[in-house]
Each structure stands twice: as C-alpha cells, then as structure tokens.
Amino acid sequence: RIVVLDFGAQYRQLIARRVREAHVYCEVLPAATPAAEVLARNPRGIIFSGGPASVYAPGAPRPDPELYRSGVPILGICYGLQVMAYQFGGRVEAAGQREYGGRKLEVRDWSDLFAGLEASGPLEVWMSHGDHVVEPPQGFEVIASTEAAPVAAVRHRERPLYGVQFHPEVSHTPQGTAVIRNFLYRVCGVHGLWQMSTFLENQVEALRRRIGQERVVLGLSGGVDSSVTAALLDRAVGDRLTCIFVDHGLLREGEVEEVREAFAFLGDRLVVVDARERFLAGLEGVVDPEEKRRRIGNAFIRVFEEEARKLGPVRFLAQGTLYPDVIESGDPGQAGGPAPAASVIKSHHNVGGLPADMAMELVEPLRELFKDEVRELARELGLPQRLIGRHPFPGPGLAVRILGPVEPQSLQIVRRADAIVREELERAGLHDEVWQAFAVLTPLRTVGVMGDGRTYGYLVAVRAVTSVDGMTADWARLPHPVLERMASRITGEIAEVNRVVYDITSKPPGTIEWE
C-alpha cells in the first residue's frame, strides 16, 4: 500500500485517486502522523501532498523526519517538496508572485520519475504555489526545471527521495498520471489490483450491512450522482428504498418530465414533490450565494423529512455526494483524524447546508469518488448511456446562476437562456466534448439598439468548460458559429436580454459556476 500524508492540499484526494487509478491501494493520513505509526502500516511508498502553508509559517505542518531514514521511497509534491527541502537544509523562498497555470518543464534526467516520457517533448505541467525552492538541499540533484522555478523536480543522490514543484495529480498536467505511475511502479516497485468492480461489490455489501432491515430514502435529482446512488441502493436493499424527487423550481427546462420518464420503473417508490413556491418564498431577497445554498439545503432536507415521515419510520437518508463536494466544502471528516481542512471555497448544499438537527442518518456511498469514477461505476451498473453522459448540474440549480435575487422573472430568463445554450450545443454535436455548458444571468443592464429604438436590457454570460473531474477546468474553445447562434437566439428570443458575453476564465483562478 501507499500512504499519502495530507498537508491540507486542495488536491490531496486527487493524489489518492491517481494512485487508485494505477490500481494500488492507498490511504490518506494526517501530515504529522509519527513515523512509527506510518511505518506500522508497511507502506511501499509515501507521498507528501501539497498544502496552503509556507514552511516558515508558525505551526506549518511537518512530517516526522524519521521517515527519511526509513528507506521507504518518498515523493513530495509542491509543499511536500518544500518541506522536504527545508528539513534537509535547502532554501525555500516566496516566489514573488503566486505562480499558477501551465508551464513547460525542462527535464534533465529521463530516468525513473520521467521514464518513457521523452517522446512527449517538453512536458506541460500545472503550477500552483506561492513559495518555491531556490537551492536544492544537500544531497539532492535537480532533475527538472521551468523558467520561473529552477528547482521543479529533485532527487536525492543516495536515498529514494523525490520532490516535484508542479502538480502531477491534476488533469492539466497531461503526463502527471504517468509521473505518479513511474513513482509507484519504478521507484516503489508496487503493482496493484484495486478496481471499480471491487468498489461496487464492497459498496453493495457495506450498504446491506449498514442498512440491514431499515428503510432508506434517497433524494433523486435526475443527475448521474443520485441515479447511481439509486441503482446502488436498489441493488443492495431493493424494496426498502424510496426515491423522492423534489421539484424546487430551480430546475432546467423539461427536467421534471425527463426524471418521471427515466425512473418510471420505480413505480410508487418514486415520489415527486412540487415544492416550487416554498423554495421561491424562502429565497426572497437573498443575494449572497452561500446564503442561497444554505437556505436551499435546509429546505431540501425539511422537504425530505416531511415526505419521509409520511412513509412511516425511515432511518436513513441517502445522497449522491461526491468527493469534490466534500473537499470544496472543507469537510474534514474524510482524511481520517485531525487533518487540516482544505480552505473552504463553496459550501455545496449537499454537505455544508445540512441542518444540525436532521433526524435521519446520512448514507453517502459515492463520497470517495470523482465524477469520472461515478460514470465508470454507472457503466458497471448498466445504466443507460444517455444518463451517464449528462452534464453535472448543481444541487441549488438555477439559483446560483442568477447573480442577485431569485425571482420568477429572472428564473424564467435564465432557464430559457440555458435551454438555448444546451440546444445549440447538442445541435452542433458538441455535448460530449464539454463538461458543462450553461447561461448565467447578471444583474447588469447595458444599452443596446433594436429596430429604431434604444434598449436597456440584461447581460447574459455563456459559460462552457472542459474538465475531467470539476476540480480544475478550462474554458471550451467553442466554434464561433455555435457561439453566434447562441447569442443571436438568446437576444432574439428573450426580450429582456440585449447582450451576451462568453466567459474565457479557467479554474483556477475562476470556478465553474459564477456563484
């Protein structure tokens, strides 16, 4: 097995996931776990994650230096490299300006970490750091550099210790998986057998054990996540599952009908609740995105509770929460113990907004998975491709795509604009090329001209991104004719809108949604 020491990185679980993709079992432990405890697990290799701290900051997490003497191979990533360099007496400094984005890596040594990658030319790597190592510590040699970071990858001359300043775990480092595999296979000498089919069997078994003869209710949204959760639970506990679909009025055009159709086989185990007015009333005058999420999250759970109560005693509430939802809400429950939580970015409603007095126990079988893993699981479960390929849609729905208060009129505008964006994307055959594509309604009004008259209408932004897991993303290079059709239809068919812009921000520094 491999142990990942968690220094509080935004990307910590991505590392674990890359290791799992290489079919090697892996466990995440807090940064300061004593060497004896780490070594008691018999790891074949250790990876230090990145982290937000500076090595000189008071209380900055440090690994037990005993680990360096254990002979177990270590790979430090970003902060993991810096802390290793620091502990070996190297010089770490603030890089002047925070560096993030794609960089070209000049590799000096194509053995071990970079073995087999020569043919790919200069490697494209993703940087995201404030500090960097300016001088390699004693005993280390530099094996790769970039223009801004001369010490971008190092290796100890005698011991199996490696460090990289870039992030091999994110999808924007195209050869990153290969670098991690090289560490696992070549340096640590492990080969493993971890697979999605094993995950499926284990989860079904675990759900059976946990739920026993009790009943479970699931919030179905029509998206991949909750559908997979439903299929998993259906397999595990069959009749003891009831699915509740809440129409909160923040859904896309045609969605309620689609869900009714797709899950018709559930018969009366599918309950559709019309709660549109209740959610709208609860959102009146709310502008702050986190407040919107909190209110929607609370209302959601309340509606479930009311509906579930009608079913008689139900002990469990299932949700299709994914790992990115967990990590971006800064939920510390995952890394096992008092690991530093990743900085809170957005409290996704299905995690951050849970009321403290909720009367049901949560079941979240997908909590460890990323979106593409869920799609793989969906295939494993035999779900239809149409459903598997669906773009993700946020739980709080269109509410976080209206900057400003959610009102019947703004909802109507954004819903129509969204439908146009999706229709045109579909028509161009580009649906599967992008991760998400949607419209955002801004409260900005701009001057326009229509016929002979001046208009003063709303500004709609179109956003389309490519991504592998939602953690990082790039704006989609949609063909101009497609953008043109979207813009002319939106301004032509929605009277209140007279201007359309296209969002060309990547994540980071932006997020996918605007709120």
Tokens read off for 20: 């799992």
The answer to whether 23 is a known catalytic residue is no
Taking the least distance from each CB to ligand XMP, the nearer of 258 and 513 is 513
| CA 45 – CA 75 distance, rounded (Å) | 8
Give the per-residue SS3 of 347-380. Answer: CCHHHHCCCCCCCCEEECCCCCCCHHHHHHHHHH
CB 393 within 8 A of CB 252: yes
User: C-beta of 377: minimal distance to ligand XMP in Å?
Assistant: 17
**What is the rounded CA–CA span in Å between residue 331 and residue 346?**
11
Which residue, 240 or 415, has its beta carbon nearer to ligand XMP? 415
* Choice between 325 and 373, CB closer to ligand XMP: 325
Contact set with ligand XMP (CB under 6 A): 293, 325, 328, 346, 348-350, 392, 394-396, 400, 436, 470, 507, 511-513
Q: Please indicate if the annotation marks 226 as binding a ligand.
A: yes
Q: Kindly state the smallest distance separating residue 470's Cβ from ligand XMP, in Å.
A: 4
| DSSP letter (8 states) at residue 58 | T
Of the candidates 78, 243, 328, 376, the residue annotated as catalytic is: 78
Residue at 412: amino acid letter: Q
Unique residue bearing structure tokens 């703004």: 410
Which of the 8 DSSP states describes residue 402? Answer: B
Query: Could you tell me whether strands 161-164 and 74-77 are parallel, antiparallel, or unpaired per DSSP bridges?
Result: parallel
Q: Is 222 annotated as a binding residue?
A: yes
- What is the three-class DSSP state of 86? helix
390: how many CB neighbours lie within 10 A of its CB? 17
Instruction: Establish whether 188 is a catalytic residue.
Output: no
Least Å distance, CB 482 to ligand XMP, is 21
Distance separating alpha carbons of residues 513 and 262, to the nearest angstrom? 27
Burial class (CB in 10 A: 0-12, 13-18, 19+), 200: middle
Catalytic residue among 129, 132, 156, 167: 167
Cβ of residue 223: shortest distance to ligand XMP, in angstroms? 8
Q: Is 172 a catalytic residue?
A: no
Least distance to ligand XMP, CB of residue 395, Å: 3
Query: 260 to each of 247, 347, 354, 500, how far by Cα in Å?
Result: 11, 29, 26, 33
| C-alpha–C-alpha distance, residues 63 and 33, integer Å | 7
State the nearest-atom distance from the C-beta of 52 to ligand XMP, in Å: 17
- Residue nearer to ligand XMP on the CB measure, 340 or 394: 394
Closer CB to ligand XMP, 307 or 328, in the complex: 328
Task: Please indicate if the annotation marks 224 as binding a ligand.
Answer: yes
Judge contact between 144 and 173, C-beta under 8 A.
no
Decide whether 32 or 468 has the Cβ nearer to ligand XMP.
Answer: 468
Beta strands in 151-285 (DSSP E): 153-156, 161-164, 216-219, 241-247, 270-274
For 492, list phi and psi in degrees, rounded to 5: -80, -35
For residue 363, give the nearest of 212, 228, 217, 199 by alpha carbon: 217
Q: Which of 169, 255, 376, 424 is catalytic?
A: 169
Annotated binding site: 221-227
Annotated binding site for ATP: 221-227
The residues annotated with a catalytic role in the active site are 78, 167, 169
